[in-house]
Structure 1
Amino acid sequence: MTDLYKDPAQSIEARVDDLLARMSLEEKIGQMHSVWLFLNENGQHTTRSDQFTGSSDQDTLKDMLNTGLGQITRPLGTRTVEPAAGVRALNSLQKYLVEETRLGIPVMSHEECLSGLMISGATLFPSALSFGATWNPELVERVGDAIGAELRMIGCHQGLAPVLDVARDSRWGRTEETFGEDPYLTGVLATRYVRGLQGEKRDVLATLKHYAGHSASEGGRNHAPVHMGWRELNDTFLLPFEMAVKLGNAGSVMPAYHDIDNEPVHASKHLLTKVLRDDWGFDGIVVADYVGVSLLYQHHGIATDTAEAAALSFNAGLDVELPGNDCAKDLKLAIERGQISLDKVDEVVRRVLTEKFRIGLFEKPYTDDAAIELRSDAAVQVAREVAEQSVVILDNNGVLPLDDRAKVAVIGPTADDPLALLGDYSFPVHLIHNEETDDVATVVTPRAGLEAALGDGRVVYARGCNILDERKAGAPVFPGDVDDSTSLQQASPLSSRLDMIPEAVAAAEAADVAIVCVGDLSGIFQTGTVGEGSDVDTLELPGVQQQLLDAVVATGKPVIVVVISGRPYNLGGLEDKIAAQVWAFFAGQEGGTALASVLTGAIEPSGRLTLSVPRSVGAAPYFYNHAFKSSGTPIARHFGSRYPFGHGLAYTDFEFANLELEADTVDIESGDVRLSFEIRNTGKRDGVAVPQLYVRDELASVVRPVKELKAFGRVSLKAGETARVTFSVPSDMLSFTGPEGTRIVEPGFFTLMVGASSGDIRLTGRVEGTGARRTLPKDWRMESTCEFETIATSAQAVAATGV
């Protein structure tokens, strides 16, 4: 007779009840953690041994596997493994757990997938900042769908993305992992990524991270404390998570490393249970950030040992410790001490088992190693479209698009380095920390892209300088390595070599125009100049890149600066002396092709900034949706941004006109703010406009931002064409967290601002919210809409008037 829990005809609840009743305490604890192994096809698996995971001998590992396991950590993404061989090794582990352990509970597999599945051979997508710069939710959903397909091919059940941190301080290294500085745009794009990755069945779980406020760390430093009250946390940093949970049905959430007002998030019952599950209705699993549970006793100092740290986290709402079992293995001791109850253990394990049954893992534990098709033509095409649509033109004096006869000097340390186009959680870059390498032959650099587009005869290349003379593993120091790091002296790894600059100057002098590619090398824990643990104290270009740029500009030749980076940089006052400035982010394997297509005009530029570029590091943290008094009194000279949120130029011009409100009042109980306006392409080229609607609450019971994005769209217009654009914003979206700590909508007047960016407002209106102040329900309306229709071309307009 088949055990009830093995019968797929039974309800998930009945199967969980039956299985849970059969489990020993050791088997339950096994479901509450992961293990990080080097898997082998012959079943001779070994434990990865490092500062994250410690080490285990073979006998200990066998005992651990015999009791079952919640998850396996990055089975294909830890080191370079041929995908089919990696799947066979994963199947061998799964076979042991399913067929040779007492209860046969299969294991879930997770991998990183922030900028594509992070394993050898997978598609190398652009960074999240590139996703954001497209302002294209439909395209971001296609990205999620493509990455989700690759996850499924290798038997992965959970992807550790997307990052929903709202960027606040460009000094923070993980800025590159974010969609940008606006909570609403982040929420919309993250929701679409989640929908694409998970699919309708949610058979692969997206993981929302880093929950929450991680990007507002003290001084922009990794893991540093966060100082803010509940209202700011809820309105800015929790909003994207709430949207992705409620609108995207996200399957997993990962808490962040930091503490907020001295409470570490991994031990916050308020955030992990009250807000996430009780208030929002989240029904998935909460997984720890790597060693986040351990930090409760190692760094935060709120637990005496591993057992208490585990009890604090699981009582708060954690379900699975990642990446190993540093703390979960001592849960029996915590139970004996009375620090956690058996009922709580059952509650946690119930959630883990429910997810395993729901995704069909018991019925389909193995993966077909012959059906793997990574880096398909379709996936590469999506990656290219993101790269193309994310290129942002910041300045252009007419040099772009490039003259089809011009001789071009391609210069700079990011011009021909494949790793310079990849983010910190792309596989080749991530391997640097382990002193390993991976093939990057598929990455098209700017030099290669321009040579392909223009021909070798029109392109001359000179490196000009290095950013880092050597890429090597190991940060100078981690917290805990020394007793007091405040007096630690650390040498800069940045290159100081100037000997390559003369060759770059000669190349520029021999060309008609110089394209200087500068920026970052991404890498975790200071293996690069940006990325996780790679924080800075300046927004000057790293190393001697400014000297290179100064020397090339001094030639008098037109200079196009292409910034390939994970954070904004200033150009040392050259912004008014260069011919054009372009931001290309980390554009992935198709980055060079995409950049060349935009610079030559084969593709019309449509990218818009999702990060304001502060005038200097003294303005950091800077963001467009600041409070009125943020500029200081009197206004500080360093405050503000020359290139604000939403900014980006096209190769044509757009005229905004004829703003019309459907009504000048809106019922705040159930109404919608509906407004329409015209956009006309007044230039001679086709183009893409990105209209944006900002709202300001003129009078509120708490301080509100000077403006907030509430709607946006992408409108393709042929030369001379006009479209009527309509935004519809639910009155619920006029809400904020009020004096009592709940989300409310108040009656009053709201300024409506339509523009090409947060700093380029073209049309304004005013609407009055009417009715009584109200507290929003759980399922409040969180998303606006944009519709447009073409109403005339210039030729049609002339014909209509008979001129």
Structure 2
Amino acid sequence: MTEIYKDPQRPVNERVADLLARMTPEEKFAQMHAYWLILSPEGDHRERSDLSDDFAGVSEQTDLATRLQRGVGQITRPLGTHIVEAREGVRAANRLQRTLVEETRLGIPAMFHEECLVGLLCKDATLFPSSLNYGSTWDPELVERAAAAIGAEARATGCHQGLAPVLDVSRDVRWGRTEETFGEDPWLVGVMATRYVQGLQGKSRDLLATLKHYVGHSFSEGARNHAPVHLGFCELNDTFLLPFEMAVKLAHAGSVMPAYHDIDNQPGHSDAFLLTDVLRNQWGFDGIIVADYGGVSLLHQHHGVSHDGAESAALAFNAGLDIELPKDDCARHLAEAVARGLISMEKIDEIVARVLTQKFRLGLFERPYADENAVALQSEEARAIAREVATRSLTLLENRGALPLAASQTVAVIGPTADDPLALLSGYSFPVHLIISDMLEQTTQVTTPLQALREQLGEENVRYAKGCHIIEKRMAGAPVFPGDSGNKPMQSSPVSLDQSLIPQAVAQAQQSDIVLAFVGDLAGLFQSGTVGEGSDTDSLALPGVQQSLLEALVETGKPVVVVMTGGRPYHLGGLESRVAALLMAWAPGQEGGHAIADVLTGKAEPQGRLVVSAPKSAGAMPYYYNHKLKSGGTPFAFHFGARYPFGYGLSWTQFDYSPLTLAEEEVAINKGVINVSVTVTNRGERAGSEVLQLYVRDNVASMVRPVQELKAFQRVRLEAGASARLTFSLPVDMLNFTRRDGKRIVEPGEFELRVGASSADIRATKTVTVTGETRVLGQQWQMLSHCEVSF
């Protein structure tokens, strides 16, 4: 007779209950953690050795083969941990899965997870642009298509859970992980993240997306990695929890990952209020909560809220955690934690039931193995989507007639990022994330701007000089474990101060009609680069001697077009008003060179709009457009504000806006919808697109509100002289904010509607009155606005 848990015709809850009743305590504990292994097709698997062993205070264990007999919840990054051909990696993962399914007492398969924020973290996978590029397209449908392409590559390699997207809301661009965010507006982040989750998981939800880093990680003290966060619940809910709530309720995200920091002295990995009360009880989240790598160990190693691994495990699992990643630093002590009365077997059963539920729902018991002959990476479609995201995210900040380039010009391509494939990649791309000495060998699919420009303009019309280094030699062996904060710190900054290459660059510029200066930063984890996780900054000046290079190029008198790549906006030391053009490309991925060349030559339009403000200086930090009135000081500080504001971006043409018209000047607070219309006209001489943005200001509220908040947006493409009528429909629910009792409420009163080309370029306003009594929103409320376009 077939056991109930092996019968796919039985309901999942019955299968879970049957299997749970058959498991020993040790088999249950094994489902609550992962192993981080270097897998072998022959079954000679070994544990990954890294700094985490010293950091976490790990002791010797019984041999791996014996421990695998108990089963395991997850396997950490089977293809993303080291350089391995995808097919061989799948074969090795299948070999391990076969051991678990066919050679253990109960045959419980493991889930495999990988990083996949900017493409599957795997050799030869498509290297997509950064999250800032995703956001800068202002195109949720395109983001969903990109995530679907990433999901297809993940599924093809046997991945069951992707550790993406990042829902952190940018507040301070000094933070190294700014590049992983969709931007600084919480609602826009929520929209983009929701569509990313829908694309990655697919309609069948057979691949779990993981929302991270829950929550407030981006508002850390001094914009430093892991630093404390100082927030009350009202602001936490309105700004940082909102995107998570949207992705949970609208996209049914399958997993959530807590953050490393503490909020008001409570570490995220042991925060029962956020992990259980809010996430599960209030929002109805029914997925699994997985630890950020080493996050459970941090409870005793860094936060000092527990004495040892057993107590840390109990704190995290009692709070709501389901699986410790990347391995079992603390979960290995669960038997001790139970014996000490720190956690009950009833709680263990509750957690293991959630883990098993996901495994049954994903069909792992019926389909535990991936088809090694069906691995599909770098498809034509995936590359095309990556190029489209890169092209449509490029944001033109200055243009004094230099762009598009004239066909007859000779061009000097200058700068440290012009021919460096790593400069186009963000920190969670495969070649960068591994911090390996032969990274360049893993970037053969990347087309640099120099390569693309030579292809489009002809080699005879392009001169090249590097001009300077950002980092002269990318070093392997930098700290690669998130918990390492002092065992082996970087002894000095790797950034180069060598100016010896500048004269050669100046000579090349003097012999050319126009200069294309490529500057920016290099992603690298934990100070192995100038941006990325653990690579925070105290300055918004270009790293190294790039400012000196730019100054020398501008002094030649030649028109200088600056193309900036990287993970945060840098200032040009006052040269913004002297350069011929300034193009922000962020980290545009493997197709970034083609995208940049297409925009520079006019084959493509610069369609991007900023999703993070470009502040005047580091002294303005933290800065974001949706600040409170008093954020700038009294009087407003000279350094406060942004040179290039949220939503800003130039096109090849110009647009006019009509006055706003309201369908109704008074709208009922109970399920009402505000309908506001505007006509936009392309008054230029060539076709182009505009992103119309609808902001709302709550004129009088019972609590302090931001000066304005984005509530809707719509891109429209118009031929020269053409017009379109846009009607935005904004549910009154979206005018909510959080009251001191933690409830989301909508108050009656006057709200100013503002439509413009950016947060600082408002073209038309109108006031609408919401009537009725203050209303508390229920669990389900309307989170999305809509726009209809008529031509």
Asked if Structure 1 and Structure 2 have the same fold, meaning a TM-score greater than 0.5 normalized by the shorter chain, the answer is yes
Give the structure 2 partner of residue 528 of structure 1.
Answer: 529
Spell out the pairing of 1:615-626 with structure 2 (5 A cutoff): 615-626=616-627
Shift of 1:739: 2.6
Picking from 82, 86, 107, the partner of 1:83 is: 86
* In structure 2, distance between residues paired with 1:479 and 1:273: 25
Give the structure 2 partner of residue 724 of structure 1.
Answer: 725
Shift of 1:669: 1.1
Give the structure 2 partner of residue 358 of structure 1.
Answer: 361
Give the structure 2 partner of residue 239 of structure 1.
Answer: 242
Identity of aligned residues (%): 61
Residues 1:93 and 2:77 aligned together: no
Q: For the Cα contact (< 8 Å) 1:217–1:223, is it kept in 2?
A: yes
Give the structure 2 partner of residue 121 of structure 1.
Answer: 124
Q: For the Cα contact (< 8 Å) 2:525–2:534, is it kept in 1?
A: yes
Q: For the Cα contact (< 8 Å) 1:450–1:459, is it kept in 2?
A: yes
* In structure 2, distance between residues paired with 1:758 and 1:141: 25
* In structure 1, distance between residues paired with 2:652 and 2:473: 39
Picking from 120, 139, 154, the partner of 2:157 is: 154
Give the structure 2 partner of residue 14 of structure 1.
Answer: 14
Give the structure 2 partner of residue 773 of structure 1.
Answer: 774
Give the structure 1 partner of residue 691 of structure 2.
Answer: 690
Give the structure 1 partner of residue 630 of structure 2.
Answer: 629
Shift of 1:474: 4.8
* In structure 2, distance between residues paired with 1:46 and 1:436: 23
Residues 1:499 and 2:503 aligned together: no
Task: Tell me which moved more, 499-508 or 619-628.
Answer: 499-508
Picking from 242, 254, 273, the partner of 2:276 is: 273
Q: For the Cα contact (< 8 Å) 1:474–1:527, is it kept in 2?
A: no
Task: Tell me which moved more, 655-664 or 101-110.
Answer: 655-664
Q: For the Cα contact (< 8 Å) 1:52–1:290, is it kept in 2?
A: no
Task: Tell me which moved more, 737-746 or 579-588.
Answer: 737-746
* In structure 1, distance between residues paired with 2:486 and 2:280: 39
Give the structure 2 partner of residue 331 of structure 1.
Answer: 334
Q: For the Cα contact (< 8 Å) 2:494–2:528, is it kept in 1?
A: no
Residues 1:33 and 2:39 aligned together: no
* In structure 1, distance between residues paired with 2:318 and 2:510: 66
* In structure 1, distance between residues paired with 2:562 and 2:127: 24
Q: Deviations over 1:238-265 (max 9, x none)?
A: 0000000000110000000000000000
* In structure 1, distance between residues paired with 2:478 and 2:422: 19
Shift of 1:51: 2.0
Shift of 1:726: 1.0
Q: For the Cα contact (< 8 Å) 1:129–1:585, is it kept in 2?
A: yes
Give the structure 1 partner of residue 393 of structure 2.
Answer: 390
* In structure 1, distance between residues paired with 2:373 and 2:731: 49
Spell out the pairing of 1:718-757 with structure 2 (5 A cutoff): 718-757=719-758
Q: For the Cα contact (< 8 Å) 1:114–1:160, is it kept in 2?
A: yes
Give the structure 2 partner of residue 229 of structure 1.
Answer: 232
Q: SS state of the match for residue 448, structure 1? A: helix
Shift of 1:482: 5.1
Give the structure 1 partner of residue 286 of structure 2.
Answer: 283
Residue type of the alignment partner of 2:181: T
Spell out the pairing of 1:407-418 with structure 2 (5 A cutoff): 407-418=410-421
Q: Deviations over 1:498-524 (max 9, x none)?
A: 111011111111111101000000010
Shift of 1:438: 4.2
Q: For the Cα contact (< 8 Å) 2:432–2:439, is it kept in 1?
A: no
Shift of 1:599: 1.0
* In structure 2, distance between residues paired with 1:481 and 1:609: 33
* In structure 2, distance between residues paired with 1:128 and 1:489: 27
Shift of 1:56: 8.4
Residues 1:444 and 2:443 aligned together: no
Give the structure 2 partner of residue 795 of structure 1.
Answer: none
Q: For the Cα contact (< 8 Å) 1:509–1:555, is it kept in 2?
A: yes
Residue type of the alignment partner of 1:325: D
- Unpaired runs of 5+ in structure 2? none
Shift of 1:52: 2.6
* In structure 2, distance between residues paired with 1:341 and 1:187: 36
Q: For the Cα contact (< 8 Å) 1:387–1:594, is it kept in 2?
A: yes
* In structure 1, distance between residues paired with 2:688 and 2:187: 25
Shift of 1:471: 1.0
Q: Deviations over 1:747-779 (max 9, x none)?
A: 000011000000100000000011110100100
* In structure 2, distance between residues paired with 1:386 and 1:330: 46
Spell out the pairing of 1:191-202 with structure 2 (5 A cutoff): 191-202=194-205
Shift of 1:58: 8.9
Spell out the pairing of 1:458-473 with structure 2 (5 A cutoff): 458-473=461-476
| Shift in CA distance, 21/476, structure 1 to aligned 2, threshold 3 Å | closer
Residues 1:307 and 2:297 aligned together: no
Give the structure 1 partner of residue 576 of structure 2.
Answer: 575
Q: SS state of the match for residue 461, structure 1? A: strand
Q: For the Cα contact (< 8 Å) 1:47–1:56, is it kept in 2?
A: no
TM-score of the pair, normalised by structure 2: 0.98
| Shift in CA distance, 613/444, structure 1 to aligned 2, threshold 3 Å | same
Shift of 1:491: 2.6
Q: Deviations over 1:447-491 (max 9, x none)?
A: 1111111111211111000001111135589977659x9xx9953
* In structure 2, distance between residues paired with 1:43 and 1:499: 52
Q: For the Cα contact (< 8 Å) 1:299–1:480, is it kept in 2?
A: no
Residue type of the alignment partner of 1:608: R
Q: For the Cα contact (< 8 Å) 1:80–1:438, is it kept in 2?
A: no
Q: SS state of the match for residue 699, structure 1? A: coil
Q: Deviations over 1:309-334 (max 9, x none)?
A: 00000000000000000000101111
Residue type of the alignment partner of 1:539: L
* In structure 1, distance between residues paired with 2:661 and 2:670: 22
Q: Deviations over 1:513-545 (max 9, x none)?
A: 101000000010111100000001000000000
Shift of 1:435: 7.0
Task: Tell me which moved more, 466-475 or 434-443.
Answer: 434-443
* In structure 1, distance between residues paired with 2:187 and 2:502: 44
CA RMSD of aligned residues (A): 1.5
Q: For the Cα contact (< 8 Å) 1:433–1:527, is it kept in 2?
A: no
Spell out the pairing of 1:62-77 with structure 2 (5 A cutoff): 62-77=65-80
- Unpaired runs of 5+ in structure 1? 791-803
* In structure 1, distance between residues paired with 2:719 and 2:440: 46
Q: For the Cα contact (< 8 Å) 2:295–2:483, is it kept in 1?
A: no
Q: SS state of the match for residue 347, structure 2? A: helix
* In structure 2, distance between residues paired with 1:695 and 1:554: 44
Shift of 1:275: 0.4
Shift of 1:740: 2.0
* In structure 2, distance between residues paired with 1:308 and 1:362: 33
Give the structure 2 partner of residue 800 of structure 1.
Answer: none
| Shift in CA distance, 433/216, structure 1 to aligned 2, threshold 3 Å | farther
| Shift in CA distance, 560/480, structure 1 to aligned 2, threshold 3 Å | closer
Residues 1:210 and 2:216 aligned together: no
* In structure 2, distance between residues paired with 1:788 and 1:437: 46
Give the structure 1 partner of residue 517 of structure 2.
Answer: 516
Give the structure 1 partner of residue 2 of structure 2.
Answer: 2
Shift of 1:60: 2.2
Residues 1:598 and 2:599 aligned together: yes
| Shift in CA distance, 480/74, structure 1 to aligned 2, threshold 3 Å | closer
* In structure 1, distance between residues paired with 2:476 and 2:627: 38
Q: For the Cα contact (< 8 Å) 1:523–1:530, is it kept in 2?
A: yes
Q: For the Cα contact (< 8 Å) 1:287–1:318, is it kept in 2?
A: yes
Q: Deviations over 1:566-591 (max 9, x none)?
A: 00101001011111111000000000
| Shift in CA distance, 6/438, structure 1 to aligned 2, threshold 3 Å | farther
TM-score of the pair, normalised by structure 1: 0.96
Q: SS state of the match for residue 251, structure 2? A: coil
* In structure 1, distance between residues paired with 2:11 and 2:503: 73
Q: For the Cα contact (< 8 Å) 1:474–1:525, is it kept in 2?
A: no
Give the structure 2 partner of residue 260 of structure 1.
Answer: 263
* In structure 2, distance between residues paired with 1:23 and 1:624: 54
Task: Tell me which moved more, 452-461 or 139-148.
Answer: 452-461
* In structure 2, distance between residues paired with 1:438 and 1:160: 25
Give the structure 2 partner of residue 681 of structure 1.
Answer: 682
